[in-house]
């Protein structure tokens, strides 16, 4: 029996700092309903989907920061999304800022089954940005200040039959550029990886020359190649557009296990695209080209876990042929 | 001072089993001369460049196998290529079948400086194929039979000033699909990775449905994304075309540190394309997005070195949100 899971990439347009929580939640529910009407059984929302990308702002006062965080998932403010998904029989991935009961903060995502049960949680490992605000700059990237590094590793989850019984994994934003996270998921036999992101379309402070076209290319290239090299589907979903003067790329896409984009968004606004993901399409790659048990040679991968940064080779040494 | 290295991808068309060594060497020298005339200072040749892709044939008798191997590098049969390169002041990467004095066989490559010195050697780690011939099939893939796994790891080399003093790395064919090898090179600050390949354009025995277009896409996608994710140039070079009834893809390309193809071949025959590789273009990626020291989290990468094959998650366990 083919294991086909119709998946939706539910991209959102910008969420401004001044937008109310209620207004944003209503937009997410509208996207969910559109995806369900298109027959999707799993809807992938962006990273930090309930609010603006607040790490661009420096809050000297923690009282300004904490309202962006969720103290439980679900909680009364987001419950209408969970209720609507359950009523429609649709599962979803959603990113949010997590505040634990004992005061730890993470950039997190949950995977929710169509019956409302939480299948798994992930906390972002590859936090970009800096701890200290960059002086004199209007826009910051303070993820390393506002969040702790994820402490759950890269777990994959066996989804229920309502999600085709697939092996599902989660990454968040910058994680998608790091092959290590994908590989740890691949080593668990992952068949579909959900990734939400908020990625700058340009340097809002004018610091480098990468434009939105190049950055969108980077985003898709990373998702495509890592999907291919792990023989998995991938669904990468943006929060896009202009948030309070800072641009975010779109380019949300659904990628097959050959690394081909099978559906992608065309706007920088709220938009849904869907694709039928046949999880059995992963099998050829996993059994042949990327049969890890047959072909991997971990004894030569030591530096990947044994060192963090670069160690350059010594000044020109010559070996004997 | 910009560190610009003009590099040539010197793709070869097919080399038939019946072709003489002399004829093949003359073709390689002609490509070298064309590249030098185009101003290249480094010429990248394919994997197993001196012969047909012989692992497609099952040789019951070792006496038939050994003539494909080089007992030293250089040796009298290939010396004219080394001599011509030195006379032209051009360095090169070339793949060959290596037979060591004590009888070990490897799928190897050397990097040769413009003055003829061997800068480094690499032995292919990710051998595809099988040890035992597949019964009843005309074409085999017996790399795991004819070669031992590479035992040198993934060393990067500081090249001489005649090659812009770059940090250079080598991979061979199937290695380019494995992000682990690229990452070990990236962790040495690699600025240009040379990859020669012989990759089937289709299953010559009719066993799967991947056509030449898809396989060429896979090849380029892997080179592009791994170049981007390690902020390095990459030069991937095919032996292409129809070898004794078995097709090989072309699609040789030079890729910049943003993962963009800046030059690529258009034929399945002997063909040279060149590009100016500014090694300092690697710097932005290495200092920002892929600043490994700032952003990698090896404590969560353990399975990459700790296990070889897939370990799937248990039947649906649910975690508490």
**Predicted confidence (pLDDT) per residue in B47-88, tens digit:** 999 999 999 999 999 999 999 999 999 999 999 999 999 999
Mutation site, B93, B296, B317, interface A, largest A CB count within 10 A: B296
Would you say residue A292 lies in a domain? yes
Residue A247 tokens read as 């641009």
- Looking at the predicted structure, is the pLDDT value of residue B316 above 90? no
Would you say residue B319 lies in a domain? no
State the pLDDT at residue A205: 85
Instruction: Find the angle CA(A220)-CA(A223)-CA(A224) to the nearest 5 degrees.
Output: 80
CA B216/CA B139 separation, integer angstroms: 20
Nearest chain B CA: its distance from A304 CA (Å):
6
CA A257/CA A47 separation, integer angstroms: 23
A173 is catalytic: yes
Would you say residue B8 lies in a domain? yes
Using pLDDT thresholds of 50, 70 and 90, give the confidence band for residue B315.
low
- Looking at the predicted structure, is the pLDDT value of residue B257 above 70? yes
Would you say residue A320 lies in a domain? no
**Predicted confidence (pLDDT) per residue in A163-221, tens digit:** 999 999 999 999 999 999 999 999 999 999 999 999 999 988 887 778 999 999 999 99
State the pLDDT at residue B205: 85
Domain that holds residue A210: 4-306
Q: Which residues of B touch A232 (CB under 8 A)?
A: none
Would you say residue A192 lies in a domain? yes
- Looking at the predicted structure, is the pLDDT value of residue A320 above 60? no
State the pLDDT at residue B319: 46
Which listed residue (A17, A22, A33, A47) is catalytic?
Answer: A47
Average pLDDT in the A259-275 region? 98
Mutation site, B178, B208, B214, B216, interface A, largest A CB count within 10 A: B178
Give the burial class of A1: count Cβ atoms within 10 A of its Cβ; 0-12 exposed, 13-18 middle, 19 or more buried.
exposed
Nearest chain B CA: its distance from A231 CA (Å):
11
For residue B311, give the nearest of A158, A181, A188 by CB distance: A188
Using pLDDT thresholds of 50, 70 and 90, give the confidence band for residue A319.
very low
Would you say residue B316 lies in a domain? no
Using pLDDT thresholds of 50, 70 and 90, give the confidence band for residue A304.
very high
Q: Which residues of B touch A306 (CB under 8 A)?
A: 298, 305
- Looking at the predicted structure, is the pLDDT value of residue B241 above 80? yes
**N- to C-terminal Cα separation, chain A:** 55
**Predicted confidence (pLDDT) per residue in B264-284, tens digit:** 999 999 999 999 999 999 999
State the pLDDT at residue A314: 84
Nearest chain A CA: its distance from B36 CA (Å):
24
Which listed residue (B22, B121, B144, B173) is catalytic?
Answer: B173
Look over chain A and give the mean of its residue pLDDT values, rounded to a whole number.
Answer: 96
Alpha helices in chain B (DSSP H): 21-37, 62-65, 79-88, 143-146, 179-186, 212-229, 282-287, 292-295, 302-306
Give the burial class of A124: count Cβ atoms within 10 A of its Cβ; 0-12 exposed, 13-18 middle, 19 or more buried.
buried
Determine whether the interchain pair B304/A187 forms a contact, defined as Cβ–Cβ distance below 8 Å. yes
State the pLDDT at residue B207: 74
Would you say residue B187 lies in a domain? yes
Residue A263 bridge partners (DSSP)? A254
State the pLDDT at residue A59: 96
Average pLDDT in the A281-292 region? 97
Would you say residue A11 lies in a domain? yes
What CATH number is attached to the domain comprising B100? 3.60.110.10
Put simply, whether the predicted model's pTM sits higher than 0.90 gets the answer yes
Using pLDDT thresholds of 50, 70 and 90, give the confidence band for residue A147.
very high
- Looking at the predicted structure, is the pLDDT value of residue B202 above 50? yes
B124 is catalytic: yes
What's the structural domain count of chain B? 1
Average pLDDT in the A301-321 region? 80
Which listed residue (A98, A143, A173, A191) is catalytic?
Answer: A173
Using pLDDT thresholds of 50, 70 and 90, give the confidence band for residue B318.
very low
Look over chain B and give the mean of its residue pLDDT values, rounded to a whole number.
Answer: 96
CA neighbor of B273 nearest in space, from B111, B85, B35: B35
B286 is catalytic: no
- Looking at the predicted structure, is the pLDDT value of residue B317 above 60? no
């Amino acid at each position: 029996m083919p294991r086909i899971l119709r998946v939706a990439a539910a991209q959102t347009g910008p969420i401004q700092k001044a937008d109310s929580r209620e207004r944003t939640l209503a937009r997410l529910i509208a996207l969910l309903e559109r995806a369900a009407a298109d027959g999707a059984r799993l809807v992938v929302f962006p990273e930090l989907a309930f609010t603006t990308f607040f790490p661009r702002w420096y809050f000297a006062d923690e009282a300004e920061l904490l309202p962006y965080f969720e103290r439980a998932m679900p909680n009364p403010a987001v419950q209408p999304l969970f209720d609507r998904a359950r009523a429609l029989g649709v599962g979803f991935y959603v990113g949010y800022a997590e505040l634990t009961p004992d005061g730890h903060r993470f950039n997190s995502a949950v995977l929710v089954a169509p019956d409302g049960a939480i299948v798994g949680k992930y906390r972002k490992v590859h936090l970009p940005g800096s701890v200290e605000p960059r002086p004199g700059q209007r826009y910051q990237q303070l993820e390393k200040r506002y969040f702790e590094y994820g402490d759950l590793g890269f777990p994959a989850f066996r989804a229920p039959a309502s999600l085709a019984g697939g092996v599902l994994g989660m990454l968040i934003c910058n994680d998608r550029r790091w092959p290590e996270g994908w590989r740890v998921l691949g080593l668990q036999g992952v068949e579909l990886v959900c990734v939400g992101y908020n990625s700058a379309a340009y340097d809002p402070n004018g610091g480098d020359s990468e434009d939105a076209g190049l950055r969108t290319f980077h985003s898709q290239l990373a998702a495509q190649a890592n999907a291919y090299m792990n023989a998995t589907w991938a669904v990468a979903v943006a929060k896009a557009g202009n948030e309070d003067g800072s641009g975010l790329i779109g380019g949300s896409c659904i990628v097959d296990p050959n690394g081909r984009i099978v559906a992608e968004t065309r706007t920088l606004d709220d938009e849904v695209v869907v694709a039928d993901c046949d999880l059995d399409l992963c099998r050829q790659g996993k059994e042949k080209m990327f049969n890890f048990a047959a072909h991997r040679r971990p004894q030569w991968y030591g530096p990947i876990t044994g060192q963090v940064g670069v160690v350059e080779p010594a000044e020109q040494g010559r070996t004997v042929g």
